[in-house]
């Protein structure tokens, strides 16, 4: 087993332990984080550091930014997701956000660990500095929108309880609607520029690799659909005063589109962005 | 050995007519404390008297006699026939007494579980007792332990974290909607005690201003002055609705004064900024359909009562966790109590000296190998006699003072001087 795979497995272990601790803390306490919540945060930070090492080891072994097959992409996605969550955690200190986000990272890693993890040659046409720039921007945008999705789900749950006046145990543990809505807005104002730059950098790279900015391949089309969805939400928020439930629903729809753009297109529709096309001859 | 005794009654065992007759006046705690302390079986005394409970805590060497004397004292002091009182009184001793006081201090025995006043009331009662010097080292330590247990329950469980009154429940709901209440504007439509109380809670929790409206303008002006807010004529209040985040209504109107259409218009004017409407009026002031509008949350009196019920249920769940904490602490405290008894202290003291004697003997014997059995026997007897003679005075002082108030001081002194135990952890030494 090569170093990066070993590190990957240890990282997955750390993330799983952090997830369990986050869930335990949320079940046991309300709102304010207890000792378990703090332990969860530190273990997650440790896992993130290990994940950085994993990616570095993989980079050194493969010789390219490790986002060229399903295993690598899922790992990279989980890495950006945990990183973005930790950034949000500095501001919001919410155990319950961790309890909702970390399981997603663990799922990504688990699926990633079942995918083939052999290092293959990168298609020489794609070997350019635009590669790391494009994928990093795209995945950071994905991660920020994932947090928006998580906040959206929490918003809908909390709003449902406040409207119906039937309170489950979750009511006491979820933050206020205002906080969840402000997370939605923050994610949008960071995620949208990241996604936009991801698409632009992709176009520039496509021009240098394939000699054309835009080819309407399924990935590009779906990315554009997703982009329009988020653009509509941002516009609605800024001008008409969309917020709350509608913004949460949009964040959830946007995330589903995003997921399809990321996974569905690569796995179901073969095209220039498929992992097959990334391999060398 | 020293035992802890509790005799008393509470809202669970006695109606208010009885409770008010046995309550002690806070202005004159010296006399009852000294009288209680003077009872033959009582060594240390504390009296807790609140509107929901009257309890006597005593340290005693004769539990059975003490219980009887305390009951008689309570009846006699207040001039009530003991038979009348008897059916309302409970009494606990030993671990049960410890558990009871820990539960009371942690607010598990309160009418509203988790209410914070009781701990302060017990601290006050303890203060009177120390002031009048009716507590000794046992009740001293016991009460400090009870305070630390209560503190632990409060920090480790969520027993007191959700509102159990309608007006506070409204504030908590507002927090779940708005996050912080800082800068939020409140409108008060109509007057009513509960409404005004809720408005005051909102102001105390950060709300910026209150707008008051009433069918009689003078009334509105008067209330507005009280809240340092703004009075609005009743006919004009709908025009101001879009400026406020929280609306409290309790008018005597027979029909709805706010309907779905009006509120849809208001929320549009507010660009969907959320609103929290609290309708305390019966019959209701706001059409319940308003709750269907996005970003508006409408609660009537029954809804708020429902929240309070849910919170009470949460508290009961938390109380179970608190019982576990108390179980742990009882074990710790009763071990301390047993250890500080005279007999185990004498045993420990003797063992300590005997260990030293044996240690020194074996050292000497191994150095002087040519000693015959006779000499050995003589040295054994000599050292045993020295130890016995030296231990005789402290032992008899301990025994003689066993039943007196200062007895526990001697036990403490002997245990400290001869290093008979590791000092129990001092986490509970501070009173906050």
State how far residue B256 is from chain A, nearest Cα, in angstroms: 20
Q: What is the pLDDT of residue B432?
A: 34
- pLDDT confidence tier of residue B69, bands split at 50, 70 and 90: very high
Kindly determine whether residue B291 and residue A242, on different chains, have CB atoms separated by under 8 Å: no
- The chain-wide mean pLDDT, for chain A, equals 85
Q: What is the pLDDT of residue B424?
A: 43
Structure token pair of residue A128: 């350019």
**Is residue A268 over pLDDT 80?**
no
Look up tokens 């009433």; give the residue.
B214
Q: B352-409: per-residue pLDDT in tens? A: 999 999 999 999 888 888 888 888 899 999 999 999 999 999 888 888 877 666 777 7
Is residue A43 within 8 A of residue A61, CB to CB? The reply is no
Structure token pair of residue B84: 């009348």
- pLDDT confidence tier of residue A171, bands split at 50, 70 and 90: confident
Contact list in B for residue A172 (CB cut-off 8 A) is: 158, 161-162, 314
CB proximity B380 to A under 8 Å: no
> If you count residue pairs, one on A and one on B, with CB atoms under 8 Å apart, how many are there?
55
State how far residue A43 is from chain B, nearest Cα, in angstroms: 23
Nearest Cα to Cα of residue B228 among B191, B192, B186? B186
CB proximity A211 to B under 8 Å: no
- Give me the active site residues of B, please: 51
- CA quadruple A86, A89, A95, A101: dihedral sign: negative
Which residues of chain B from 162 to 201 reach within 8 Å of chain A, CB to CB?
162, 173, 175-180
A163, A167, A178: residue with CB nearest B179: A178
Contact list in A for residue B179 (CB cut-off 8 A) is: 175-179, 182
CB proximity A164 to B under 8 Å: no
Kindly determine whether residue A30 and residue B158, on different chains, have CB atoms separated by under 8 Å: yes
CB proximity B161 to A under 8 Å: yes
Contact list in A for residue B173 (CB cut-off 8 A) is: 162
State how far residue B227 is from chain A, nearest Cα, in angstroms: 26
Nearest Cα to Cα of residue B275 among B284, B262, B283? B262
Kindly determine whether residue B295 and residue A175, on different chains, have CB atoms separated by under 8 Å: no
Q: What is the pLDDT of residue B428?
A: 40
Structure token pair of residue A53: 């090492």
A163, A175, A240: residue with CB nearest B297: A163
Q: What is the pLDDT of residue B77?
A: 93
- The contacts of residue A172 (CB under 8 Å, 6+ apart) are A30, A31, B158, B161, B162, B314
CB proximity B306 to A under 8 Å: yes
Q: A218-227: per-residue pLDDT in tens? A: 888 888 999 9
A177, A241, A246: residue with CB nearest B176: A177
CB proximity A244 to B under 8 Å: yes
B161, B177, B307: residue with CB nearest A176: B177
The DSSP output letter for B258 is B
State how far residue B432 is from chain A, nearest Cα, in angstroms: 22
d(CA A199, CA A111): 26
Q: A222-263: per-residue pLDDT in tens? A: 889 999 999 999 999 888 888 888 999 999 999 999 888 887
d(CA A183, CA A53): 29
**Is residue B127 over pLDDT 90?**
yes
State how far residue B273 is from chain A, nearest Cα, in angstroms: 8
The DSSP output letter for B423 is P
CB proximity B144 to A under 8 Å: no
Q: Is A71 helix (H, G, I), strand (E, B) or coil?
A: helix
Query: In chain A, pLDDT over 70 holds for what percent of residues?
Result: 93
Q: Has this prediction a pTM greater than 0.80?
A: no
- The chain-wide mean pLDDT, for chain B, equals 87
**Is residue A177 over pLDDT 90?**
yes
E-strand ranges in A124-198 read none
Alpha helical stretches, state H, B133-240: 137-156, 166-178, 193-204, 217-227, 237-240
A158, A165, A177: residue with CB nearest B274: A177
């Amino acid at each position: 087993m090569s170093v990066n795979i070993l590190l990957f497995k240890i990282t997955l272990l750390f993330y799983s332990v952090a997830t369990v601790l986050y869930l335990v803390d949320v079940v046991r306490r309300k709102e304010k984080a207890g000792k378990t919540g703090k332990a969860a945060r530190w273990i997650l930070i440790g896992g993130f550091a290990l994940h950085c090492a994993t990616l570095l080891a993989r980079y050194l072994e493969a010789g390219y930014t490790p986002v060229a097959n399903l295993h690598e992409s899922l790992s990279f996605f989980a890495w950006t997701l945990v990183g973005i969550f930790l950034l949000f955690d500095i501001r919001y200190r919410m155990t319950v956000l961790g309890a909702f986000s970390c399981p997603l990272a663990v799922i990504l890693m688990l699926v990633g660990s079942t995918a083939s993890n052999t290092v293959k040659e990168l298609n020489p046409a794609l070997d350019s500095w635009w590669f790391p720039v494009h994928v990093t921007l795209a995945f950071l945008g994905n991660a920020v929108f994932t947090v928006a999705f998580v906040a959206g789900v929490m918003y809908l749950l909390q709003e449902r309880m406040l409207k119906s006046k039937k309170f489950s145990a979750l009511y006491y543990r979820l933050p206020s609607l205002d906080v969840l809505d402000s997370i939605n807005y923050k994610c949008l104002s960071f995620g949208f520029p990241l996604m936009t730059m991801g698409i632009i950098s992709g176009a520039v790279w496509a021009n240098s690799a394939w000699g054309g900015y835009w080819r309407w391949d399924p990935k590009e089309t779906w990315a554009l659909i997703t982009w329009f969805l988020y653009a509509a939400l941002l516009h609605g928020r800024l001008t008409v005063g969309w917020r709350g439930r509608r913004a949460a629903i949009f964040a959830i729809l946007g995330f589903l589109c995003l997921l399809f753009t990321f996974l569905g297109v690569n796995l179901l529709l073969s095209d220039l962005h498929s992992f097959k096309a990334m391999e060398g001859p | 050995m020293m035992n802890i005794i509790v005799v008393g009654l509470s809202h669970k065992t006695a109606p208010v007519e009885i409770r008010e007759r046995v309550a002690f006046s806070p202005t004159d705690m010296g006399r009852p404390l000294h009288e209680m302390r003077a009872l033959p079986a009582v060594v240390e005394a504390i009296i807790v008297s609140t509107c929901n409970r009257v309890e006597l805590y005593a340290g005693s060497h004769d539990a059975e006699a003490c219980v009887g004397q305390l009951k008689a004292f309570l009846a006699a002091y207040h001039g009530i026939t003991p038979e009348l009182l008897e059916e309302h009184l409970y009494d606990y001793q030993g671990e049960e007494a410890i558990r009871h006081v820990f539960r009371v201090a942690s607010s598990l025995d309160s009418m509203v579980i988790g209410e914070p006043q009781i701990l302060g009331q017990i601290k006050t009662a303890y203060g009177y007792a120390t002031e009048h010097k009716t507590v000794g080292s046992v009740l001293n330590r016991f009460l400090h332990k009870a305070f630390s247990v209560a503190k632990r329950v409060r920090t480790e469980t969520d027993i007191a974290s959700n509102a159990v009154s309608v007006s506070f429940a409204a504030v908590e709901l507002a927090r779940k909607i708005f996050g912080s209440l800082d800068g939020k504007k409140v409108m008060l439509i109509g007057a009513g005690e509960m409404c005004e109380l809720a408005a005051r809670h909102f102001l105390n929790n950060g709300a910026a201003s209150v707008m008051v409206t009433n069918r009689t303008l003078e009334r509105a002006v008067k209330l507005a002055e009280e809240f340092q807010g703004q009075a609005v004529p009743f006919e004009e209040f709908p025009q101001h609705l879009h400026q406020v985040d929280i609306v409290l209504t309790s008018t005597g109107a027979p029909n709805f004064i706010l309907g779905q259409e009006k509120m849809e218009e208001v929320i549009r004017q507010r660009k969907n900024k959320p609103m929290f409407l609290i309708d305390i009026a019966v019959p209701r002031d706001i059409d319940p359909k308003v709750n269907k509008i996005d970003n508006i949350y409408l609660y009537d009196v029954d809804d708020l009562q429902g929240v309070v019920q849910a919170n009470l249920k949460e508290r009961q769940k938390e109380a179970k966790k608190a019982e576990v904490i108390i179980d742990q602490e009882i074990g710790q405290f009763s071990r301390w109590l047993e250890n500080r008894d005279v007999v185990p202290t004498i045993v420990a003291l003797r063992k300590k000296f005997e260990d030293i004697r044996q240690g020194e003997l074996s050292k000497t014997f191994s150095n002087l190998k040519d000693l015959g059995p006779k000499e050995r026997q003589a040295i054994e007897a000599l050292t045993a006699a020295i130890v016995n003679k030296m231990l005789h005075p402290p032992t008899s002082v301990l025994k003689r003072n066993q039943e007196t108030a200062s007895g526990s001081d001697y036990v403490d002194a002997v245990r400290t001087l001869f290093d008979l135990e590791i000092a129990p952890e001092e986490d509970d030494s501070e009173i906050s």
